[in-house]
Amino acid sequence: MESQQKPTNKIMLNYGVILGIVLILINVIIYAMGMIYDQDWKTGSIGIIAMIAVIFAGIKKFREFNDGFLSIGNALKTGLGIAIIGAIVSLVYTLIFMNFIEPEFIANTMAGAEQKMIEQNPNLTDEQIEQGLAFTEKLLSPGIMIAMALIWTLFLAFIISLISGLILKKSNEEVTSI
């Protein structure tokens, strides 16, 4: 059991750091292209695709270390571990970005949100706009952002790991029945 535990932790750490670095690189590229305030579903999809690739590769590597065997439980454990480490690495960068690289990020995001609210519904009253902005500001607080990012990451990682586990699953019973 001990020999199986060490590769799992090493795989989670290595692939988690890789995922975190890839997510940071994606964010740096988006920032360098001047698209940090104007992201759409396409830019978000890039991060999800990276997450799928890294988690799948990590689970596949776990299966290789385990003589070709993989259970759904091991796939979930490995994938969620990779995702948590990747999210932590990425969130550290996000906090550095918001506090040092682009300290006006929240203020600029709020200004953009106000502009979009007015463009989408010009009949909003000042009070309605203020209420919407107050809610948006709460969502942009570091604690809420971190919690939402972790929940979203774990949700995606669970689905990715489950599907990867179903694809890569191979048990001792399957080998002995052949």
Dump pLDDT digits (tens) for 60-98: 999 999 989 999 999 999 999 999 999 999 999 999 999
Residue 101: strand pairing partners: none
Least confident of 12-16, 101-105, 120-124, 162-166: 120-124
Query: What is residue 173's predicted lDDT score, i.e. its pLDDT?
Result: 60
pLDDT in tens, 119-162: 998 888 889 989 989 998 899 888 999 999 999 999 999 999 99
Share of the chain above pLDDT 70, in %: 93
Backbone angles phi, psi at 71, to 5 degrees: -100, 165
Residue 68 region, left (φ>0) first, then alpha (ψ -120 to 50), else beta?
A: left
Q: Is the pLDDT of residue 3 over 60?
A: no
DSSP labels, the chain: -HHHHHHHHHHHHHHHHHHHHHHHHHHHHHHHTT-TTS--HHHHHHHHHHHHHHHHHHHHHHHHHTTT-B-HHHHHHHHHHHHHHHHHHHHHHHHHIIIII-TTHHHHHHHHHHHHHHHH-TT--HHHHHHHHHHHHHHTSHHHHHHHHHHHHHHHHHHHHHHHHHHH-B-HHHHHT-
Check residue 1 and give its pLDDT.
44
pTM assigned to the model = 0.88
Question: Which pLDDT score is estimated for 177?
Answer: 45
Cβ-in-10-Å burial (0-12, 13-18, 19+) of 26 comes to: middle
Which residues, at least 6 apart from 9, have a Cβ–Cβ distance to it below 8 Å? 81
Strands (DSSP E) contained in 28-147 are none
- pLDDT band at 38; cut points 50, 70, 90: confident
2 falls in which pLDDT band (50, 70, 90)?
Answer: very low
Mean of pLDDT over the chain: 90
* Residues 174 and 92: beta-carbon distance below 8 Å: no
Question: What value does the mean pLDDT take over residues 49-67?
Answer: 96
